[in-house]
Amino acid sequence: VTSTKPGTVFVTGASSGFGAAVARRFAADGARVVAAARRTDRLKDLAGEFGPQVLPLQLDVRDRAGVAAAVAALPEEFSAVDVLVNNAGLALGLGPAQDADLDDWDQMIDTNCKGLVYCTRAILPGMVARRRGHVINLGSVAGSYPYPGGNVYGGSKAFVHQFSLNLRSDLHGTGVRVTCVEPGMADTEFSLVRFSGDRGKADNVYEGMQPMTADDIAESIHWAATMPQHVNVNTIELMATAQSFAPFQVARE
Ligand code: NDP
Ligand code: 8X3
């Protein structure tokens, strides 16, 4: 039986929220963790909690050549990645499509879709060669359920969902696993980023309800990654208990 306890985990967006919680969860479990993001000061603080077991890596996932170079230059002891957590991502804005800023749309597509595929493409060949690996992508309920202002953000997460399933087809018979984790409302810096640093608007999102925490999501990712090798968790959709569905809206004359 092949052990599923990951030796090396590569997590993008490790400077905040889910990514930082994932890095801590796996590091606490003894894994070596490559913690990647743009804000290195935060990554260094995270690494400082664990020592040389956590490698801070400055990386903008939108930089195609930079991603390939960073993966190729990983120190030997971090180079055989068992679990890639493609977590770096963001929503920008919550306005209607007809008023949206195209730069915001570009950034979401460049990060959530293109950055995710750059990281996957860079790390996947090693996993296939070793016949061992697990790609865990951060989708969202926004990729399955429409909501006003979700436009490109939800579209980018629908991409992540389908790309994850299609990866499974391509990886058939290789032993490499793929999971798409699709959370609803969780209290991280997500809303602060979405509302361009407006703390009041961000706090309003979670006002009077109990959102999920980054640790809740990290736990589900850790669970999927440590299931026995013969089990592939395709999709995990999870919501705050306080979040559910509403009826369709109808425009009446
Ligand atoms: P946070 O804003 O707390 O964290 C986002 C992370 O992504 C940060 O570490 C940020 O690091 C990183 N990031 C953003 N852009 C880039 C980039 N170009 N290159 C590298 N890293 C980048 O949000 P969450 O933890 O909530 O979000 C993590 C993922 O989970 C996202 O994909 C998000 O869409 C998804 N998600 C979030 C939900 C929520 O309600 N919170 C629900 C469902 C999905 P830095 O700025 O330092 O680069
Ligand atoms: C973020 C979750 O419900 O705010 O992906 O769209 S939600």
Report the pLDDT value the prediction gives residue 1, as an integer from 0 to 100: 46
Low-confidence ranges of the chain (pLDDT < 70): 1-3
Task: Kindly state if the Cβ of 141 falls inside 6 Å of ligand 2.
Answer: yes
The residues annotated as belonging to the active site are: 153
Atom of ligand 1 nearest to the CA of 142: 43
Task: Kindly state if the Cβ of 16 falls inside 6 Å of ligand 1.
Answer: yes
Task: Kindly state if the Cβ of 186 falls inside 6 Å of ligand 1.
Answer: yes
88 Cα: distance to centroid of ligand 1 (angstroms): 5
154 Cα: distance to centroid of ligand 2 (angstroms): 8
The Cα–Cα gap between 81 and 90 comes to 24
Report the pLDDT value the prediction gives residue 6, as an integer from 0 to 100: 87
Report the pLDDT value the prediction gives residue 2, as an integer from 0 to 100: 54
Torsion, Cα of 176, 179, 180, 182 (10° steps): -160
Report the pLDDT value the prediction gives residue 4, as an integer from 0 to 100: 78
Task: Kindly state if the Cβ of 120 falls inside 6 Å of ligand 2.
Answer: no
Fold of the domain spanning 8-238: Rossmann fold (3.40.50)
Q: What is the ipTM for the molecules in this complex?
A: 0.98
Domain residue spans of the chain? 8-238
191-202: pLDDT as tens digits = 999 999 999 999
Atom of ligand 1 nearest to the CA of 43: 47
Report the pLDDT value the prediction gives residue 78, as an integer from 0 to 100: 98
18 Cα: distance to centroid of ligand 1 (angstroms): 7
Task: Kindly state if the Cβ of 93 falls inside 6 Å of ligand 2.
Answer: no
Report the pLDDT value the prediction gives residue 192, as an integer from 0 to 100: 98
156 Cα: distance to centroid of ligand 2 (angstroms): 12
Q: Which ligand is nearest to the CA of 143?
A: 2
24-40: pLDDT as tens digits = 999 999 999 999 999 99
Task: Kindly state if the Cβ of 160 falls inside 6 Å of ligand 2.
Answer: no
The Cα–Cα gap between 81 and 174 comes to 15
